[in-house]
Structure 1
């Protein structure tokens, strides 16, 4: 009898808890994907346009049981054809029995108009973030379009803003054998353009070793 009561209590406790948020939320070529947390959960996708505070639901991906969403229905603003106006922040949250998880913002693993490509080179004591200043936002806004670097040790969440820069940067005085993480995004006149790149983490090698990653 006690075992039955304990089981019922456990089931009731689980049912009263919000589901865990989705993991590995990534966007690539109009397709948003994520890793589910638990069964019997639905997902809702929201988006926010560049330089806006308004979140909107994507009608085709409201309380969907699937683990992907076609976002091609999100069109650019009609009022301005600047490239950043085609960029949106994408967020996915899990839902179960009216309870919602925290939303998780999507990242992009490959570069495009909205997200810079990320490649890094690690040397003993340092890490170089390679950034290309020849991109669509730079053509439109010249030096007012920059890269924002986020940086920190693995396990630090969220990564901290390190620097806004036009071109590549080397971060010095890093601990050999320690794993560090980098994420980058574009900015226009100081305003963040999303999605950000997906986070890359690498170990700073010991003296005499070199590691280049794309």
Structure 2
């Protein structure tokens, strides 16, 4: 797989994460609960949770139903139009209907999204390595024990959960896009088992993705 295709994949993940965050923000801004939005969109709350997390598992139809209820589905038409080829000023000047929910995203938000994406990619690489070399699980467990002995007591609950994940090989809990999984990745021992070249490759890919996204 070429470097370019890897970066495209990173951009796809970043765009999904951003879309999910925007839809969640739009729901909250409209005063809708997850139950109400799921019912109106005719999807399950679990599917809605995945949509708002920017997960790739929900179908395109699920995303469209949520966008339709929130009144932002007209923005999707831009993807298939020539408007995207115009300048940023032209896009800003386009007429926005009264139903459109405008959700501004700051530079800090974008940086945070890239950090989340970088952490997720590092953990995907680590899990892939652990599946090939299960003996590295003990190395991660040893790291947890050292952290417990000298680390921040506030992270102990996360480390305890990591111990369960490693013993049960419950990798999905580490790779999910839920808030809890993001918290787990912030207190994760998995980065310690990755070779330097793998970490560097991921950092370069995310850095290139951020540069390309900034120019769009």
Task: State the TM-score, normalized to the length of structure 2.
Answer: 0.22
Higher relative contact order (CA 8 A, sep 6+): 2
Task: State the TM-score, normalized to the length of structure 1.
Answer: 0.22
The structure with the greater share of residues assigned to strand is 1
